[in-house]
Amino acid sequence: MRSANAGAEAPGATSDARLILDWLFGRQPESSRTIAVLHFVDGLTLEEVARRVQIHPIHLSRVFRKRFRSTLAEYQNRLRVQFVCRALQHGRGDLASLATDAGFADQSHMGRVFRMLTDQTPGQFRRFIHS
């Protein structure tokens, strides 16, 4: 296993793996990390990301937490809530399908995470944004 800091693509690594390594170590612009790197809607686990970039999951976890001051799951949930906020701003109304589109397990899960991060429910946010 090669050191992720070496900057070279590990043998057999995919282009996604290269993007993830570039992003994780600060060589990728902010805009590409949202979708192209994390695939937050797909719900990639730490182990899956570590496998793609061919580094140990514990090392990835430490580097990720140090760089972004959150776990991968916390970061993905923030991205999902941002996705939901943008969709609600643009008039998407069906919360159940929105939850699925954002990568949440179901509408209830989306509601819990949304409220934890924003102190309001998705319905309250929708009413506020359209008032």
Identify the CA nearest to 20 among candidates 58, 56, 59, 64. 64
Q: Please check whether residue 5 lies inside any domain of the structure.
A: no
**Which pLDDT belongs to residue 15?**
58
Residues 19, 61 within the same domain: yes
Shared-domain flag, residues 117 and 88: yes
CB atoms < 10 A from the CB of 114, how many?
26
Domain end among 69, 99, 118: 69
- The answer to whether 104 touches 111, Cβ cutoff 8 Å, is no
pLDDT 10s digits, 88-115: 999 887 999 999 989 899 999 999 999 9
Yes or no: say if 40 and 78 are a contact pair by the CB < 8 Å rule: no
Q: What is the pLDDT along the chain (131 residues), one digit of tens a residue?
A: 333 433 443 444 455 556 666 666 665 544 334 433 456 667 778 888 777 777 888 988 888 888 888 888 888 888 899 999 999 999 887 999 999 989 899 999 999 999 999 999 999 999 998 88
Is 2 within a domain?
no
Instruction: Give the domain extent around 89.
Output: 74-129
